Chain A
């Protein structure tokens, strides 16, 4: 009874992804109530598989809906709820593509979210876990022989993590961001490169992120920049936008050239002071230590 209603709800949710957030969340909370009735809100060993799948789909839809609504908190919550489901999914080792469902997509989105929030530590923790899960499933599928070969936690090649359409995207972005190939990041965010529309949500945040990165490196790297080429450097549409951006960062514009306020001169004296303070502190520290020793 409740099960059929839930299936209907899910079908409804899936069929119109563009519905507004309010109505979707109303449907979702109804779905969650139904899950509660079915005792499948959290996975346990005794939950029948088809209910597990239903619950998982509900949360996945919820996660996608909250991404579309640009609600990172709700998305993080859904991801947290989904995690035990995915771990259980892994246990039934021979997962077909259909069963995996939106897992990679959700995980990819989560990685991207971490990236945009600058939580690199979490990003890499998640990535490490991914690498091992992929290894775990291949070892499981390989049967006893592979399992024996994988003794001592030996990891099987996890090619599919980087090769995956959804998972590879944030990984590549992170790599480019880290080495500074911002133009590649910019290209990857263009239409057609993004694996699906939900990933596009992050483009805006990422764009402003790389723009400020470029700006801060330009401040140090260039003595001055011509206004015209700054436009392409910062991926801005018009020179007007450049002027506006320059103003927001406190750059001065003279004769079509951008001059950066030199941060060094002001900081020099303070630095000097700080340095001498440090030297004094250290020396006093040595003296005190020597006294305790002798």
Chain B
């Protein structure tokens, strides 16, 4: 939504994923090792032996580059960075192909995620030239996906780069000539796997987005989406989620901007819905989660609240979706609920969203936006947000208007409240909280009345009317009566003499309030525990090991039984054995 700057989102993604799996440091050596091994083995074994014959998809120069990366890395470690940044970037891009390849071979989505995660680091140096170089080295002019490659080149404005170009001379370091010569004897370029196609496609999208060529990007994304839809591969799942993400990002940036119902955002809905359908059928959690989020965002951009509500009620958000998708989903859901006046739900969702938001500074935009909305919802619920929220570094300036707002509501000063709204109307509108804030008026009045009731044991309606700047005494009477009914204050009205008499405030500990607060906290703790249990990851095939152990145990037991029968074992040993099991 508005405040959430799209530019930040992809970064958010990267930032988050880095946190979830393993850190980059853990990964790099592995990747390097893999490619080094390939180089040493002189192409006979391309990553996993099982699939090598069938796919052998790593393009020849790639492996050599694996070495280059390593060399560079080593050099960097020594403190003399000599590598040409251009070549370095190209090889960085291509080092990911190996990861994608392994993802297919081992059928493990984590490798794909790793490749995707590297996008954010590549992104900083990505230029059309680098990308064109990478593309041209990857595809031969005769390969099946040459068409797509040409599209990519066209999209980034380098239509003249020919496909099948060899790596530049600067790349040729010791091992390479060998590899190339060996390979060219067979065939120069092997068929490129669709994953690599899509990966390069995503890079193209990123490049176009960063250079603000939205129209180009939209058209290219459209064809890329078509391409994805034509291939049915589970290993593409997380990649396609990303493609849809950029697709809709481009649509948002195009000419009739979102609030208008003519915006291209509306036109991509059928595509997204179709993608959602397919994703659900294929149990493709990544795409499912990201497309649901995109659709929600899409509906909210054009203020189709009821559609968003229907979407939520008719779909089930995948439980094991990536954390940042969950955060976004919760944010949009909270927003929908806030507009529908379902504040309690909204509060729950938004709290979860702010907590799940990645804490890295690159996702600051998201957490700010979510916090803003959360603050307003808290105010609407009659709570006063914690002051510490406003003190968080990085949030201070962004939240300042909200800080003033909270102050006005807390004091119950209607006049201040109105001036703050008028002063910061533009900010609130940009954040999309304006209409919600307008609803706060009644809360301000209620707080004002509560303050009065706490300070005076008896006050005339006329005074209330003057202090709270209400229209008339009659208004004041109705408002106070309503406040009493809603349980805001404990008081009675005297109509004849026109005053409000506050009741003695009872002992809070005699009410059910402490019990409820206690219950809430315990519930939160229990939920936290349950979630952490659920979030634990267990290594694959561990259960087989356990089975094996169990079998061994059973055998031991049998032996023991035998020994008991033979009378060799006494009770003590038996007890020990049981514990061991």
Contacts and interface: CB of A to CB of B under 8 A. Distances in A.
B519 A91 contact: no
A125 B120 CA distance: 37
A130 to B, nearest CB: 8
A242 to B, nearest CB: 14
Contact of A181 (B259, B426, B479): B479
Contact of A147 (B257, B301, B303, B526): B257
Interface string A95-120: 00000000000000000000000001
A218 B493 CA distance: 9
B2 A216 contact: no
The A interface is mostly helix, strand or loop, or mixed, namely: helix
A267 B394 CA distance: 50
Contacts, number: 160
A163 to B, nearest CB: 14
A158 B438 CA distance: 13
A263 to B, nearest CB: 11
Nearest to B475: A181
A156 to B, nearest CB: 8
B305 interface: yes
B302 A233 contact: no
A82 interface: no
A221 B259 contact: no
A152 B2 contact: yes
Contact of B303 (A129, A213, A219, A275): A129
Given A214-B478, A216-B485, A128 B305 contact: yes
Question: Is the interface on chain B under 10, 10 to 19, 20 to 34, or 35 or more residues?
Answer: 35 or more
A124 B339 contact: yes
A135 B479 contact: no
A92 to B, nearest CB: 9
A9 interface: no
A217 interface: yes
Contact of B493 (A154, A179, A222, A279): A222
Interface string B505-529: 0000000100100010010001001
Contacts of B481: 180, 214, 217-218, 220-222
A182 interface: yes
Contacts of B519: 282
Contacts of B429: 135, 154-158
Given A154-B2, A154-B430, A217 B259 contact: no
Contacts of B342: 121
Contacts of B482: 179-180, 213, 217
Interface stretch (B37-45, B227-235, B439-447): B439-447
Interface stretch (A35-43, A49-57, A194-202, A223-231): A223-231
Q: Which of A91, A120, A181, A286 has the most CB of B within 10 A?
A: A181
B475 A184 contact: yes
A147 B435 contact: no
B214 to A, nearest CB: 11
Interface in B462-479: 470-472, 474-475, 478-479
A120 B341 contact: yes
B164 interface: no
Nearest to A272: B512
B259 A135 contact: yes
B255 interface: yes
Contacts of A179: 441-442, 445, 479, 482
A180 B478 contact: yes
Contact of B255 (A147, A220, A293): A147
A132 B478 contact: no
B82 interface: no
B305 A233 contact: no
Contacts of A93: 260
A23 B302 CA distance: 39
Contact of A125 (B339, B470, B492): B339
A218 B430 CA distance: 41
B5 interface: yes
A136 interface: yes
Contacts of B259: 132-133, 135-136, 139, 150, 153, 155
A3 interface: no
B484 interface: yes
A128 B526 CA distance: 37
B485 A220 contact: yes
Contacts of A158: 429
The 10 A-B residue pairs whose C-beta atoms are closest, nearest first, are: A180-B482, A125-B305, A136-B260, A121-B340, A217-B485, A136-B259, A217-B481, A221-B481, A179-B442, A132-B303
18 contacts: A90-B262, A121-B339, A122-B340, A124-B435, A124-B439, A135-B259, A135-B429, A150-B257, A152-B3, A153-B1, A157-B425, A179-B482, A180-B478, A181-B479, A183-B475, A217-B485, A222-B495, A286-B522
Interface of A: 87, 90-91, 93, 120-122, 124-125, 127-129, 131-133, 135-137, 139-140, 147, 150-158, 175, 178-184, 213-214, 216-223, 225-226, 229, 233, 275, 278-279, 282, 286, 289, 293
Given A136-B260, A140-B256, A151-B253, 9 more contacts: A90-B261, A152-B3, A155-B430, A155-B432, A179-B441, A179-B482, A213-B482, A217-B484, A221-B480
